[in-house]
Amino acid sequence: MTFWDHLEELRRVLLRCIIVVATFSVLAFIFKDELFAIIFAPKSPHFLPGIFGETLTIQLINTELPRQFVVHMMVSFYAGIIVSAPYIIFELYRFISPGLYENERRCSTPLIAAAYLMFMSGILFSYFILFPITFRFLAGYQVDSSVENLISLESYIDTLVFLSLVMGIVFEIPVLSWLLGRLGILHRSTMQQYRRHAIVIILIVAAVITPTSDAITLTIVSLPMYLLYEVSILLVPR
C-alpha cells in the first residue's frame, strides 16, 4: 500500500471508531436514569455498607441553568468511550499489526490486553473504594458547624472522572515495568535496590493525587500502588 492508501485506511478506521462511540453515547444519553444511577451510587449511604457505617445523606446542587444538560451530554460521551474502548483498541491494532514483525505481534497482543484490563481495574478501584471514601470525607468535613457544604453536580462529576483517570493510569505500573524490562531499560535488581526510595515516591504521589490529606485515604491510595510495585518486580527480568 502507498502512503495515501494507508492514510485512507486510517481515515476509515477513525470513522468507524467515531460512529461506534457516537452510537453508544446516544444510547447512554437515552438511558439517562440507568446511567446516573451508576454515577450517583457512590454517594448513597447504603453504598458498600461494610465500609460506611454513617447515614449521612448528601444532596447535590446545580447553580447554572444549562449545566445539568451539559453534564448529561458529557457523561454520556465518557460512557460511550468506555464502552467502545475494546472496539477502538481492536481497530487500531488491526491497522498497525501488518507493520509489525511476528515476534512484535506476539508480544503486543497480550500487552494491549493487559494494559486495558489494568486500566479498567484502576477505574473500578476508584469507583468502589477510593471515590466513595474521598467524597464522603470531603462532603462531611466542616471547619465550623456554621459553614454548610453545598456540593455542586459539576464538582461531583469532575472529582469522579479525575480519580478514575488517575487510578487507571496508576494501575498501568506493572504493564509499563514489564515493557521497560523487555526493552532492557529496567531490571529487577534495580527495583529491589531502590524499594525504599519507591515507597517515599509512592507516598508523595498518593498525597498529590488525592484531594484529602487524611491518613485513611492516603493509605487506601498508596497501598495498592506499593502492591503494584511489588508485582512489577516479579514481572521484570533480573
Confidence of residue 213 (pLDDT cuts 50, 70, 90): low
- Burial of 104-140, coded b for 16+ CB within 10 Å and e otherwise, reads eeeeeeeeeebbeebbebbbebbbebbbbbbbbbbbe
The set of cell numbers assigned to 225 is 500502588
108-158 residue pLDDT tens: 888 899 999 999 999 999 999 889 888 888 887 788 888 888 899 999 999
Stated as kind and residue range, the H or E segment containing 61 is strand 60-61
Question: What contacts 236, CB < 8 A, 6 or more positions away?
Answer: 177, 178, 180, 181, 186, 187, 188, 191
β-strand partners of 151: 60
What's the whole-model pTM score?
0.87
Q: DSSP assignment of 29-50, as one string?
A: HHSHHHHHHHHHGGGSTTSSTT
